[in-house]
Each structure stands twice: as structure tokens, then as C-alpha cells.
Amino acid sequence: MTELELKYGCNPNQKPARIFMEQGELPLTVLNGRPGYINFMDALNSWQLVKALKKATGLSAAASFKHVSPAGAALGLPLTEVERKIFMAPEGELSPIACAYIRARGADRLCSFGDWAALSDECDADTARFLAEEVSDGVIAPSYTPEALEILKTKRKGGYNVIAIDPTYTPAPLERRNIFGITFEQGYNDLEITEDMLQNIVTEQKELPQQVKHDMLLALITLKYTQSNSVCYVKNGMTVGVGAGQQSRIHCTRLAGDKANIWWLRQHPKVLGLQFVDGIRRPNRDNAIDLYISDEYEDVLADGVWQDIFKVKPEILTAEEKTAWIAQMSGLTVGSDAFFPFGDNVERARKSGVQYIVQPGGSIRDDQVIETANKYGIVMSFTGVRLFHH
């Protein structure tokens, strides 16, 4: 197939719409549903991310995409008991690719609502069963087991979007796009991100454990497919905060850091002890947890809405408790798609437990940024490579 007609483009008024190949066949097959323009944009960007991540680390990888940027990305490492609870994972042993997607979606469950899922490996029944319980628009993977495909075909009244992509497909060396009727052309960004990029450590502290190297690779590869400007916080093989599409670097760092704080607060004993009413839907539970962590929750309690969500009126999570809990965060890695222009980015990252930084370097104030990192014993690597994505 060289062409696939779509219902419309980014918006319903943008017709006609299609995806097509100027030469050769489309390297993908729609196995179920009718994906739209934005679905395909998410699918193709997210597939590149997970394919690159699998190649760089040798581990199964998954991503949860929204509006052409990842809400989360992760490696297929085993889930802890706390992760099983906060990510709403099923009991029992799970495949690496299922763990990868559960962790990718769990990175930011609020932003992953209605996501596009991408899997580096064949979609199995474990992954399909978890997807079936979530609000999601579709999934892309190199293949599907028969059982997995049957499960996914029952989702959204049979309309769930399922795409299989040829894992051997390589795009043309030049890519084109039109903006306002004008054609832009550039070389396809085939830059391969590897551990060799991490060797230029510019700080006094220089030790990089293997897990941190994987976290740095995850941060960089995630940034490569995130709308710029972007900053990414990572911990133990999963993103915990992605700040995308901001005009200011410090705002990226703050946004991603605030998301990392929320990820950590979801593990607070008071949050883990929340008792929800029977039959509450997963999105409602996610929204309730996000609200409980926020500064607005006391106002909601005063309105008496809690009875619709919780069996027992929860005790307030105070500002002092939140501050004390966040202060316990440690071992995080932060990556940036372009250089940190000032030390304020390091200062903000440090407040969310960052001990490792990977960034291109090249600012006229690199000395100030390095000095700030040294002040807190942070290990920082300069890659020399910018990762803008637009």
C-alpha cells in the first residue's frame, strides 16, 4: 500500500488528509481501527523512540505519547510492589515489554490519559490486558501475538487503533515538510545515541554507575523525540518528569521537576493508604490522587465532594509533609536537549533529587553551570550534541 486516506488532518476542517509514500510501500499495517492524522504522528515518533532505546540499552522499551511528545518512556525492568500499586499493575509475573509500558504510562498517568502506546517488542497478552483497562487511543508495535490482538480488538467497542510496523524499515536520508506552502528539506536525524556520548564528564564528581548510564541514554533518546525546548527527569529506567515545548529552558526544568515531585509524592504513605470507593474508574482515581497531592485539596474537602471518591475522609497531606517527603528524593538524572544557559537550572534540578546531569554544553556560562553542579556534588556530562525536535 502506498497511500492511506485519513478522515481529516490535525483538525476536522483540514481535508483532505492522507499518509503516503512517494516511492515504495508504506512500512506499516493497520490491524484494527482507523487511526487519524495525529495518531500517526504519535505512532511514528514514538516508534522511533522505543526502537532507539532498545538498541541503545538492549532492554525492552515502551513509550506513552500525547500530542507528539512522550508523557512517559521506560525500560522493561521488574516492577516493585509500590510501583505495582501506584501504576495499577496486575498481580503475578509480567513480561518485560508489559513492565516497560506499565512504567511508561505510570510515569505520568494524568498526562497519559488517552495516549498512544509504543512497544519495542511484540505485544503480548500481558501488555494487551493492561492496555485494555486503560483509556488509550492506539498502539504501535512490530508484531502482536494472536491472543494480544484478540484482546485489543475488543477495546473501544472494536474500534481501538492497532498498527504493526516493519522493524527493518529505514527512512530516506532526506525528509521534507511543507509550512505555509513552502517546502523544507533536511537530512533525517539518524544520530545514534550511545554510551560513548557520556564520557566527557566535566565535574569534580565523575562516577557513573551502569544504571545511571542507562538513565542518561533514556533521557537523551526521550528528548530526541520531544517537542523542544525540553528537559527530562529519569529514575531507575523510567522518565518521571518531561517538560516539553517551553520557550524558556528554566521553565522546562521547573515543569519537569514539578512532575517528578508529583511522581514521588504518589509514593507517600498517606497516598498509598487512600481508600477509594468500590468500582471507581481508573481515570477518576488518577484525578483524585493528583488533586489530593495538590494545594487545592482542602477546598474540595470543604465542599464535601470526598464522599464520591473515598470510603473514608482522608487526612490532609500538609505542605510541611510534602516538603519533607520531596527532600528525600535522590539519585535522579536530568537531561536537556540543549545547553543549560545558567546555573539556575542546576539549582532547580537539585531540589528534585537530581544527582546526575547530561546536556550538550556549549553555553558561554558553562563555567558557572559546572560550578553550581560541583557545589552540590552533581555529576555532569557534556555530550556536545543538541537534540532539538520540531
As annotated, the active-site residues are 66-67, 229, 390
Cα separation, 186 vs 195, whole angstroms? 26
Closest CA to 10 of 34, 37, 33: 37
In angstroms, the Cα distances linking 273 to 54, 86, 144, 255, 311 are 36, 11, 37, 27, 11
Closest CA to 153 of 112, 123, 181: 123
DSSP secondary structure string, 329-355? --SEEEEESS---STHHHHHHHTTTEE
Long-range pairs for 267-271 at CB < 8 Å and ≥24 separation?
A: 267/82, 267/86, 268/317, 268/321, 268/322, 268/325, 270/314, 270/315, 270/317, 270/321, 271/86, 271/317
Torsion sign across C-alpha atoms 250, 51, 332, 324? positive
Cα separation, 137 vs 216, whole angstroms? 29
Where is 370: in which H helix or E strand? Answer: helix 366-375
